[in-house]
Homo-oligomer: A and B are copies of this chain.
Amino acid sequence: MLNWNNLDTTRAFEELKKAEKVDLTKAMVGESGGERVRKYHVPMSAGLDYNFAAKNVDDNILEKLAALAEEQQLVDKYESLLNGDIINTGEKRHVLHQLTRGQLKGDVIADGVNKRAFYKEQQDHIAAFAKKVYSGEISNEKGEKFTEVVQIGIGGSDLGPRALYIALENWARAHQTLKMRARFISNVDPDDAAAVLNATDLAHALFIVVSKSGTTLETLTNETFVKNALTREGLNPAKHMLAVTSETSPLAKNEGYLAAFFMDDYIGGRYSSSSAVGGAVLSLAFGPEVFAEILDGMHEEDKLALNRNLLENPEMLDALIGVYERNVLGYQTTAVLPYSQALSRFPAHLQQLDMESGGKSVNRFGEPADYPTGPIIFGEPGTNGQHSFYQLLHQGKNIIPMQFVGFRSNQTGMDDVIEGSTSQEKLCANVAAQIVAFACGRDNENPNKRFSGNRPSSIITGDQLTPKSLGALLSHFENKVMFQGFTWNINSFDQEGVQLGKVLAKKVLAHETDGALAEYSKLLNV
């Protein structure tokens, strides 16, 4: 029997608040710092490792976090989710994204369908379709092969697939498995679609329209925009378009598409990268085998998240350290800082994943949650950020916890020794240096050159960013966000906060406005 309790009603949270704080600067200096780095880490799958030595925790705090995990029944709730219980209370839905990459518990039957079989079937359809595209069995009006793919989607239909594509584009090129170059159209700003179309060889391009409901304003608009462009070029849109949608949407069973691949209501947009939403474009771009490796990495990490021992469960631990920072230490923001240019859009995806899941003020029953919930997430790749906003992270008035990511090898294999070290070594030296600089600080007689330290960070390290380690990394954050939601007793799987804007935008377009809305509409000439 599960208890769904607000965080501030738990005994463990009271204990956690009372626990002695860790003086990070002191803890991380000298040999005790070295010991912490060796001790405070949890192995992940795909050779990744979560190191939390530079977080404000010690054995005592970790014990309290473990008690909180137990009292809030975090792993039990995860198991309940895997078993197909209605975890998305607001929309009264199952939450099944983990099922797209394997099965960890019993069969989940929904709407009379075995859901694991359904997701697997879609993956197989996509794989078969991709092979026909490569072989030329599916080709354009002139019988020529398709060479490019363009995804039309927004939010979860854009950010995750785009971040993953960018993460593996150079890797795929280096491994001769870049089958089709991918591009993405998301914004309703016509200049977004215009620029992508301008850079695309329309005659040899496939377009994937991704919308679960088949009613997303931006996506349908951009779809028509693209179809008009194809028609103007004398091309037949029906020969160039695919749909990824739910089986009941207007895009399904529609002759306007070469094929349709299906998702369903049990996978939220921001959790849909491992469904057909990411599967179609990534399978076409890199080959279905590469997409399958991403899923493998995710599944392995999903499995680790079942560990009841907090120190063997990197997702639950990361989640609880975040809760400690948010609800005990009072920090509002978390920076995600991958030292990997390939992960340049990963923070943007995590922004949606985390902020849309955790940005709630009511608990899963619609009652007030009277404590901080999801933090603000932002980030850019290092070392770039070092020359930008790190000044504030080091010397600003607010403390911003950080999550670093770093790899021992780069993806392309191209590197030079310059002044005694490779670029990859310089990159790694910088992230190591930053963690210590943030944690330990440095005194100086000139206060302007003083670093107060005590700025907490964790780092996920790995050998290389590959399809499998990328999958593990993504699953890590999905499960972290899920565990935080359980801890806060919120529903991490709905997004009612996006509705009001949609309603008002429709009013503007229908010219049914008054007061401020009418004036802003005038100002913007709409």
Contact = CB atoms under 8 A, between A and B. Distances in A.
Nearest to A223: B418
Given A191-B340, A220-B418, 10 more contacts: A154-B387, A155-B388, A186-B384, A189-B341, A190-B410, A190-B412, A190-B416, A372-B398, A433-B501, A434-B505
B526 A394 contact: no
A524 B270 CA distance: 31
Contacts of A380: 348, 351
A38 B519 contact: yes
A147 interface: no
A514 B35 CA distance: 11
Interface string A27-51: 0111111101110000000000101
Interface string A292-332: 00000000000000000000000000000000000000001
Contacts of A461: 523-524
A401 interface: no
A418 B411 CA distance: 43
A397 interface: yes
Copies of chain A in the complex: 2
A49 B523 CA distance: 10
A526 B429 contact: yes
A352 B423 contact: no
Majority secondary structure of chain A interface residues (helix, strand, loop or mixed):
helix
B424 A189 contact: yes
24 contacts: A33-B517, A51-B523, A189-B410, A221-B419, A222-B423, A225-B416, A225-B418, A348-B380, A355-B388, A359-B389, A366-B448, A369-B397, A373-B396, A374-B397, A386-B501, A392-B497, A394-B501, A425-B526, A426-B505, A428-B521, A431-B520, A432-B517, A433-B503, A459-B523
Given A340-B191, A341-B189, A500-B442, A376 B360 contact: no
A381 interface: yes
A30 B515 contact: yes
Given A341-B195, A352-B388, A423-B225, A428 B526 contact: yes
A339 B158 CA distance: 17
Interface residues of A, number: 160
Given A155-B388, A391-B498, A412-B191, A396 B360 contact: yes
A400 B380 CA distance: 20
Contacts of A156: 387
